Structure formats: structure tokens, C-alpha cells
Structure 1
Amino acid sequence: MDQLNNQPLHQVAQALVSGGKGLLAMDESIPTCNARLRENGIPETALYRQKYRELIVTTSGLEEFISGAILSDETLTSSAAGSKPFAEMLTSRGIMAGIKVDQGTVPMAGVPGEKVTEGLDGLAVRLQNYRRYGVRFAKWRSVTHISTGSPSSAALHFNAQLLARYAAICQEASLVPIVEPEVLMTGAHSLELCHQVTRQFLFELFNALYEHRVDLRAILLKPNMVLPGTDSPDQSSDDEIALATLACLLDRVPAAVPGIVFLSGGQAAKAATKRLNALNQEGQLKGPWKLSFSFSRAILQPVLAYWKGQDQYLPGAQQILLHRSGCNSAACLGNYHPEEDIAP
């Protein structure tokens, strides 16, 4: 990778985290999207998946808070009823289109309970096809969980290598890679143990990115916040979570990385926003990178819960989408006020 002549990718990465804006992850696979529709009493059909994504893409004013949208293959090639493809509609409003390129996780051979992410085969060819749709960036998720004996050093190392190989292929294709090393929040682990595992995952990741000659100025990092497990008896305050997360990032993430866009990982909508706000209010501990968001459920679950697939609720659902996006944009600047957040 010729890092000296990579200014266009640097500019894309910086633009995605500029001006208090963040990313909207609307990249659910078909099974995942169907599950979310089912949870809200919405038919699990291609028609309603299209309606759901059209609701998002046609929300007026979304570009004020959202710099990029991560799409799935189905969304990338779909269109609004009687209109342009979704990717083109987003781009025309100044929202960059991205694409999820991993193909999900499978059990890791020889290491019971661990998972690895698939999708490297044929990736370079797929990326060239995505570019024809105007895609500017991509995303790959590797995931690990905390339990007795997990994660193993082998799983962290191998998943980091996969993330780095993906990132190198993306940059060769002139796309900005978002690298997502997620430590799941499910379990009974402590805040301290999550800090330890996240720190180790990031150590493996940046070693691998260096080995694969990835230009760190042309990536975005999408990590989990450092959180106690959902079943832990000791739940931490937002400030404690912010301090633990920042300590981990300052120890492991090079200053060359332009931005960190946190995943919500199953956090409730307002909780994720409050914690992002706390991260951006820590002054001297904030670090050299922009701290933003790449949320899915923390923005879209309230939208689905209100909409329920019914046309008469569409305007209200779009207002909720705009409100939640605006709250997270404010949190990127440390200007979110929970007492004013009265929408679902």
C-alpha cells in the first residue's frame, strides 16, 4: 500500500467522523433483519425489509447528523418504490454509502466455543463490484465473548489477522476499511475483565495491521465500549465506563487513526448515547482521535417499535430516527442533555 499517495482515503476517513456526525449501521443480514421485524410484529418479507430501509433513507434531514450508512448486499441493490437505488439516494444527500463485507462467523476448528469470521475469498472482486454502486467504505466484524477459558489467545490472534487482511484488501481497492473487533457484552464478567480482553484484542489487531502494511490514517476503528457483562452484579456508572474505555484506547490505539466509531452492542438507546457523551466529556483523557458512533439497534430499535410496519406511523417513526441521530451527534460533541431526551 502506497501510504504517501493515499490522500483520497485519508479524506474519506476524516469526513466520516467530522462535524459531530456518525454512522448508521443498517447492514443487517436478511435473517437478522427478519428477526428484528418479528420482534416488533412486522411481517418477515422482502417487501417489509424494503419498506423499513426506505423509511430510513427517505428521512428528511438525516444528513445533518449521519455522515455514512453501512448497507448490506440486499440494501445496496434495492430501490425505493419508483425511485433510485438506496445507495444513490444516500449519496445524493451527502451521506456516504458503505458495505458490510464479512460473511458471518463459524466455529473455530480446534478451539471449542470460539468463532472466526468468513468472507476473504473473492473479496477483492466483490469490492470492485461494490465500487460501481458508489460505495466509499466497508466494514468487517470479528467477535469474541468472555466466559470461562474464553477468549483464547489463538482466537484473538487469528481474528485480528483476518481483520488486517480485509483492511489491506479494502485499501488496495480504494475503500476505507472499518475494522470491528467486538467483545460481546453478554455474560457476568466485570468491567475490569472486559478492559483486559478489549485491550488484548486491540493489541493483536494493531500488530496485525502493522504487519499487513495497512495505512492507519485511512481506517476507522469500531470497538465495543468497555462494559461489565449484562449479568454482572456490579454495574458501572457512565463515567466509570468512559474512563475504562478511554484508558484502554489510549493504551492501544495509535494517534494516526482518525476516528473511533463505537458500536452499541445491544445497549439501550439512551444508555449508549449517555455513554458516548461521557466519553466526549473527559477532557484531557479524550485522546487524539474523533470519538463518534456507528450504531444500529441503539438508533433503529425505537424506530421499529413505533413504526410496526404501519404506514400511518411512518412520519412519527422518521421523527424518532432523526431525534436519536441528533442526540448521538450531540454526544459526539459532549453536548447531549439526557433531561431533554424525552422521545422513545
Structure 2
Amino acid sequence: MTAHAPARGPLMDALDRVAIRGGPLRLPLCDHCGEIAWPPRPVCGRCHALDRPAWTEIGADGRVQAVTLLHDLPRAHAMRLPVPIATVHLDFGGEVIAFTHVNVTYGDRVAVRAELDRSGRAVLVAAPRGSGQPSAAEVRESLGLAMTPKSVALYGTDAQIATILEGIGCTVFEQDGIGTPVDGALVLLRAFEPIEVGARDARFGDLLLATERMADHLRAASAGLLKKAGHAPVTLIAAIPDGALAPLPGDGGGAAAAAAAFSLVASARQRLRPHGVRVVTLLYDDSAEAEALAMSIPELCGATREYAALGPRAEAALAGWSADPLGFERVRDATFGTEEQGPP
């Protein structure tokens, strides 16, 4: 029987942000007694101070005090079972429990960092130090936090992308309507020629059909991924024109379709995450070629981020949106040819 994922509170959401940013390890620390509040909790476990512990940069190094194997995990974590976990006494002081490599034993020196699992949830991972030990990348691979897809389903793409993927050893299923179990899937919304808002243009009907078709493709791709999600890491990649976040002047119609697709993908992420399917939104601009789209699939399947960009304009749009998702309207950049607009 598979355990259900526990509810996520604001304290664990803070750890998600630590993992997304990368860099030094940060954990909640009591301002009164200096105790590491792990797992995160609103009250200090040592002095019982009611002030919420502050997230503080601490040293990542420590020594393993105990190791065991977990034979059951919430499906949303999408890790390979059994999963080795270690109790680590940090040099900074205090102890944490972290996922680790099966070769790690009592007394080993390790470095602890926050990583996103394949469902976008933050976990602590302890990678061993020293020569002859598994590298951090090998630890991630052993846990199922990274993977190389052997089978991929493609929706809305052309034959060139399939040919490139087959050339690197992937088995490709195009427009698969029966939900074949696969490691990864790419759903592509193609960019349209600019259509001004208010224009009497028959292509508006095409935009509606394209958005509806993408919704159908997301459902079909999800079906195949869900069949494999309980047993191996799987990833759904949705490629959307960058107009979803930063529409070019005179392209209100295409931007509206892309924005609708962006919201569709966000909804799919929330629905599929508890079942172990990681959903990635890939923004692309008109500089992105078929080869770049094809090669993004193994790269994103091996990563843990939920948003990515192809092309300088798409990268600028994603950076602006990531910095201020609610207030972002347009990034000031020469490629847009417009001025920045946003909240006062």
C-alpha cells in the first residue's frame, strides 16, 4: 500500500524556496537558544520559544550517526524504493534526517543540501565526502531525483524532433492516444503569427482550437505518465511561446492563447504532483530551434526545476515573472522594444 503525501505547510514551502535558489544550506534556527528547528516547526523544541525560528545559513558538513532504509514513501516524492536515509550530526550543531546513497555508512562525512524531488517538493540530501565515494550527481541518480528518459511521447511536434530523440537512443511515441507508459512527454503549443486584439481575423478560431488541442494533449500525455509514475520518475514538459508572459506589441491574440495554455499547465501541475508526475513549463521564443527543443527533454527530465526557458527573450520573460509573479507584466529589454510596465 502506498502512503499518501502529507499536507504541506508554510514552513516546508520555505524549504522549497531554499532548494530552488540553491547555494548554501539554510535551516530554521531558534533566535533564543540557537537550536535547529528540524523538521520545521513554529515552536522551538528545546526552549519552547514561541517566536517562529528564522531561516539561517549554516554549514552543510556533518557526520552520519545512523542509516536505515525506507520501504514506503508518499507517491508524490517519486523516489526509487527502498530509499536510504541518514541521521546526520551537523558540525554547526544539531541533527537532521536526510536522504542519502545506499553506500553511505555510520561515521561517514557528508555534505547536506536542500534539493527538489521530482514532484517539486524540497528534501534534504546527504552526499558523502572523500575520494572513492559516490558523487552528489550519483546520489541524485540513485534516489531517482534525476533520470535519463528512455521513452518519450510527443504531442504537437514535428518529425524533426522525433528524429533527434531517436538519434540519442530514445523510443518515441508520436501523438500517442492510448496512454503508453513512458518516462517523459513533450506537449508543444506552436507560436502563431501576430494577431491584433480586436482584429477581424479568422485565425482567432485557430487559436481557440490550438488551446483546446493542447488541453487534449495534456490529458493524453498524463495518462501514459501516470501508468509509470508509481514505479519510476516521470516528467511532463509543456512548451509554450514566451508571449504567455511577455506579449509583443500587436500580438494580443497569440499571447492570449499562450497565457491560457500557461494556466492549463499550472493546473495540470497541481493535479499531477500528488501522483508523482513532475510538470515543467518550458517557455520558448522564436530563436528556439527544433534541436534545442528536442535536447531540452533529456535535460529537463534530469533536472528538478519546474520552469525553464529557451532563447534570450524567453529567458528575460521568465526571469521577470519569477521575481514577481503577481506584478510582472513586461520585462524591460531591448528585444521587446517596449518599456517596463508593472505595479507602481
TM-score calculated relative to the size of structure 1: 0.34
Larger helix proportion of the pair: 1
Bigger-Rg structure (1/2): 2
TM-score calculated relative to the size of structure 2: 0.34
Structure having greater relative contact order (Cα 8 Å, sep ≥ 6):
1
Larger strand proportion of the pair: 2
